[in-house]
Copies of this chain bind each other. A is one copy, B any other.
Amino acid sequence: MRILITAGPTREPIDAVRYIGNRSSGQMGAALVSAALAAGHEVTLILGPVSVAMPSVSRRIDVETAAQMHQAVLFEFPSHDLLMMAAAVADYRPKHVHSGKLARKGSLTIECEPTEDILADVGRMKRANQRCVGFSLEMEGSVARAKEKLARKNVDLIVYNPTNTMNSLSVQAVLLWADGREEKLAVLAKAEFAKLLLGRAAKLFEI
């Protein structure tokens, strides 16, 4: 398969030095890339700013913001069979980016707007022979929100995982399929989980 994997956080600039970030370490993405390469697949990686070491791939696109990741994914997806959207893309970005460095004086209000919805856009452009795996990082007990995303965004399989997955070496996920199936997994090391998920994703093409 030709697999497109996104990984890491995005950063949304507030001014020349400050940004809104998130705690994604990129470890899940790194595990997926390793598992995909080990299984002989061709991998394109679209990567936000991370500090963990990433396995080297034939094609890697470094991005910073959600807008850049959106553009890269929409450009790359048509030439791939499968998208695994492991990146923790910012949902919000400051409406106005100050070109200088904001001086410290009084209070500061940062008005934010929603970023592009990458999964939803991919869901709209997806061909019959393509598949898409999404990730839904939620507080515990919010499987309902993950299910709603699955249907609304035309995703084939969503990985629901609790927020404490970030920066952790292990993951306890629930897999949610478009046909309503649910699979609750045990606590797994990210490497084991990546291998399992890749197997489930391969089976999506038999549907």
Contacts and interface: CB of A to CB of B under 8 A. Distances in A.
Interface of A: 11, 14, 16-24, 51, 88, 90-92, 95, 100-104, 106-114, 137-139, 145, 163, 166
A114 B109 contact: no
B110 A114 contact: no
A22 B22 contact: no
Contact of A18 (B14, B22, B95): B22
Nearest to A91: B104
A91 B110 CA distance: 14
Contact of A100 (B90, B91, B95, B139): B139
A74 B139 CA distance: 36
A183 to B, nearest CB: 23
